[in-house]
């Protein structure tokens, strides 16, 4: 089978497409294993790290990255899955600590899979992928904290990226007024088509806040950028507003943050983790994706590529150059 293998080299890691024997797929340890013929995978920010050896995510080489995939069950020791079933995988450190979706086949624990959600094709499910699934979790977290349509605008940072694009489209469809933050002004038309009501230039929020509290401007935020921007947005949330912290594309340290917004405005900082989400939550979030994300807009986010394009896309996504969702078609 064809697989993208990353391996250790003197000056970092290599990423090459190879033909390998299927018998090399991980066996599992007496777990209920399922072998899947992968139809689609995607390129996420974390894949960029795994492909380039960044972040210490991959510990054992040689390795097949790809943190998500959709496909068709080929063989199963798990009674919940039979050959021919369509399935989706995100999270559980697959693609990091376990061989992932950048190969024609994958073998994973049945517990890690969910059935392909009703109303989505395998291609659409991967256009959503880890980034879009996480965007849905972030929107659900805001809803649970009473950030609802009809109020002040909701910010989406890293808006032209994967998480940001899907979050913008979902929030707009649900009736929120979305203020999309981007460092790429040329993506403004794209973001407006996804439903953004206004565009905020990244520079306006990129540096640490000048004051511990600013004007109450936003009801909430989906933040894929982190760093000083996250600290800055916390000072601009309305009383009891909430920020769903999803990512760190702009840095991990909350430079300039203080406890003042929490003490004087009762704001909430909500951590979003898609990796270890329990199965029940996954099923609910995927169902919501299928109903709350306009599929015609999803189509405008997709850049469909062969496996051969993945190593370069990994570098591009770390450099913040990828727009929307890069979907890998394993049949190309």
Name the site residues for ligand NDP (rule: CB under 6 A).
44-46, 130-131, 134, 158-164, 182-184, 202, 224-225, 246-250, 272-275, 317, 320, 322
Q: 239: burial class by Cβ within 10 Å (0-12, 13-18, 19+)? A: exposed
How far, in Å, CA of 292 to CA of 290, rounded? 6
Question: Quick one: 4 or 313, whose CB is closer to ligand NDP?
Answer: 313
Bridge-based pairing of strands 325-329 and 302-305 is parallel
Cα dihedral across residues 94, 99, 102, 107: positive or negative:
negative
Q: Supply the minimum distance, in Å, between the C-beta of residue 302 and ligand NDP.
A: 13
Q: Supply the minimum distance, in Å, between the C-beta of residue 4 and ligand NDP.
A: 18
How far, in Å, CA of 13 to CA of 11, rounded? 7
Q: Supply the minimum distance, in Å, between the C-beta of residue 47 and ligand NDP.
A: 8
Rg (the chain; Cα; Å): 20
Question: Quick one: 260 or 283, whose CB is closer to ligand NDP?
Answer: 283
Question: Quick one: 204 or 332, whose CB is closer to ligand NDP?
Answer: 204
Q: 108: burial class by Cβ within 10 Å (0-12, 13-18, 19+)? A: buried
Q: Supply the minimum distance, in Å, between the C-beta of residue 282 and ligand NDP.
A: 12
Asked if residue 221 lies in contact with residue 155, where contact means CB atoms within 8 angstroms, the answer is yes
Question: Quick one: 16 or 281, whose CB is closer to ligand NDP?
Answer: 281
Nearest to 147 by CA among 269, 286, 288: 269
**Residue 232: half-sphere exposure toward Cβ, Cα within 13 Å:** 19
Question: Quick one: 38 or 225, whose CB is closer to ligand NDP?
Answer: 225
Question: Quick one: 66 or 162, whose CB is closer to ligand NDP?
Answer: 162
Q: Supply the minimum distance, in Å, between the C-beta of residue 186 and ligand NDP.
A: 10
Asked if residue 243 lies in contact with residue 223, where contact means CB atoms within 8 angstroms, the answer is yes
Position closest to ligand NDP via CB:
161
Q: Supply the minimum distance, in Å, between the C-beta of residue 319 and ligand NDP.
A: 8
How far, in Å, CA of 331 to CA of 320, rounded? 27
Question: Quick one: 50 or 106, whose CB is closer to ligand NDP?
Answer: 50
Q: Supply the minimum distance, in Å, between the C-beta of residue 75 and ligand NDP.
A: 29
């Amino acid at each position: 089978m064809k697989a993208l293998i990353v391996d250790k080299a003197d000056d970092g890691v290599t990423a090459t497409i190879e033909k390998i024997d299927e018998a090399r797929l991980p066996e599992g340890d007496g777990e209920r294993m399922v072998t899947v013929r992968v139809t689609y995978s995607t390129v996420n920010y974390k894949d960029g790290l795994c492909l380039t050896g960044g972040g210490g995510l991959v510990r054992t080489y040689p390795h097949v990255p790809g943190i998500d995939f959709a496909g068709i069950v080929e063989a199963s020791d798990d009674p919940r899955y039979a050959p021919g079933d369509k399935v989706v995988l995100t999270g559980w450190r697959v693609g990091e600590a376990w061989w992932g979706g950048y190969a024609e086949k994958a073998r994973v624990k049945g517990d890690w899979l969910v059935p392909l959600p009703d109303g989505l094709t395998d291609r659409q499910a991967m256009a959503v992928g880890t980034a879009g699934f996480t965007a849905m979790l972030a929107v659900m977290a805001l809803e649970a904290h009473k950030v609802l349509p009809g109020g002040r605008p909701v910010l989406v940072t890293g808006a032209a990226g994967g998480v940001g694009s899907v979050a913008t489209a979902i929030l707009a469809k649900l009736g929120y007024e979305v203020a999309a933050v981007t460092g790429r002004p040329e993506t403004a038309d794209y973001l407006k088509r996804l439903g953004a009501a206004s565009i905020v230039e990244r520079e306006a929020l990129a540096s640490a806040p000048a004051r511990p509290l600013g004007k109450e401007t936003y009801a909430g935020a989906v933040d894929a950028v982190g760093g000083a921007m996250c600290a800055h947005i916390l000072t601009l949330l309305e009383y009891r507003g909430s920020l769903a912290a999803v990512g760190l594309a702009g840095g991990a340290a909350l430079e300039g943050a203080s406890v003042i917004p929490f003490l004087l405005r009762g704001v909430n900082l909500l951590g979003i983790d898609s990796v270890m989400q329990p199965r029940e939550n996954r099923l609910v979030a995927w169902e919501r994706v299928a109903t709350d994300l306009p599929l015609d807009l999803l189509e405008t986010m997709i850049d469909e590529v062969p496996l051969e394009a993945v190593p370069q896309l990994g570098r591009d996504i770390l450099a913040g150059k990828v727009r929307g969702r890069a979907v890998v078609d394993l049949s190309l």
